[in-house]
Amino acid sequence: MIVDTHCHLADAKFRDDVEAVIARASTAGVAQIISVGAIGPIESDRLTVKIAERHENIFAAVGVHPHDARDCTPKRIAQLRDLAASKKVVAIGESGLDFHYMHSPPEAQEASLRAHLALAAELGLPIVIHCRDAERRLAEIVRETGIPPRGGVIHCFTGDATAAREFLALGFHISFSGIITFKNSAPIRDAATIVPDDRVMVETDAPYLAPEPYRGKRNEPAYVTRTLEKLANLRRTDATTLGAQVIANATRVFALPLSR
């Protein structure tokens, strides 16, 4: 059994068969799923919460992706606060910094990140962080503001071991995606070996970043087992043991009910 700690079930790529996708995940041994909004307009967050409320084993995170940080107004933060009143919302995010694509100006991304950190602290929820080519600046901001009391997760980690150590020192958990199955992911694989057992997580980021041998196809939560197997191999353990550890970590950070 395993938990997919980050996917996007409200994404348009799942519009026609989301229930079948959820069923396949269950068949594959995915005990729980955290579905993240933060894909465009607020309607995606609303749909994410609705999907979670329909399924006992699915939970939601709500936020504004750094790509859309220019749209992170006080009104949008208020809308996220309202959505977070649902008992199925277990985190704020994903927020963060993406200095690779720069779909929103850096100053807008930083303002949005600060607003999300404050909201997570206010609501007593962990924060889910997206970071690409911005590890140093992200760490500087978190050192200034402090990590929310409930902590947080660096999702889909794409840095190296040095960045991993810095995020761990700040108190974050680190989640690995299907990227670790790619041949050109050596720095990420190295980082995957140094994260302590009680800080490691695994995810799909579906419908994106399908692991080998599905690379290039639509990703699904069911495929998290492939990433788990690779991560276990890198960490010199077995998938069953690591899967149980990830479930324990996710249960603690996101205050999930015990999976059955």
Look at the block and give the residue holding tokens 């059955």. Answer: 260
Residues in a beta bridge with 202: 176
- Contact of 205 with 178, CB cutoff 8 Å: yes
158, two tokens? 């794409």
What is the phi/psi pair of residue 121, to 5°? -65, -40
Alpha helices for the chain (secondary structure H): 18-27, 42-54, 74-83, 106-123, 135-145, 161-170, 186-192, 224-234, 239-254
pLDDT the model gives residue 259:
66
Give residue 60's region: left, alpha or beta (phi > 0; psi -120 to 50): beta
Q: Find, among 167, 154, 157, the residue nearest to 126 by Cα.
A: 154
The per-residue pLDDT for range 69-97, each reduced to its tens digit, is 999 999 999 999 999 999 999 999 999 99
pLDDT the model gives residue 258:
77
Q: Find, among 234, 192, 233, 226, the residue nearest to 209 by Cα.
A: 226
**Mean pLDDT throughout 148-152?**
98
Residues 6+ apart with CB under 8 A from 117: 95, 127, 141, 142, 145, 146, 147, 148
**Radius of gyration (C-alpha) of the chain in whole angstroms:** 16
3-state secondary structure of 91: strand
Residues in a beta bridge with 200: 174
Kindly report the number of other CB atoms within 10 A of residue 236's CB atom.
Answer: 7
- Domains in the chain, please, with CATH? 2-254 (3.20.20.140)
Q: What's the N-to-C CA distance of the chain in angstroms?
A: 10
The per-residue pLDDT for range 88-138, each reduced to its tens digit, is 999 999 999 999 999 999 999 999 999 999 999 999 999 999 999 999 999
pLDDT the model gives residue 222:
98
Whether residue 218 is predicted with pLDDT greater than 70 in this model: the reply is: yes
Whether residue 212 is predicted with pLDDT greater than 90 in this model: the reply is: yes
- Contact of 232 with 202, CB cutoff 8 Å: no
Whether residue 20 is predicted with pLDDT greater than 90 in this model: the reply is: yes
Q: Find, among 84, 51, 63, 3, the residue nearest to 251 by Cα.
A: 3
Whether residue 260 is predicted with pLDDT greater than 80 in this model: the reply is: no
The per-residue pLDDT for range 163-195, each reduced to its tens digit, is 999 999 999 999 999 999 999 999 999 999 999
Residues written for the chain: 260
The per-residue pLDDT for range 27-65, each reduced to its tens digit, is 999 999 999 999 999 999 999 999 999 999 999 999 999
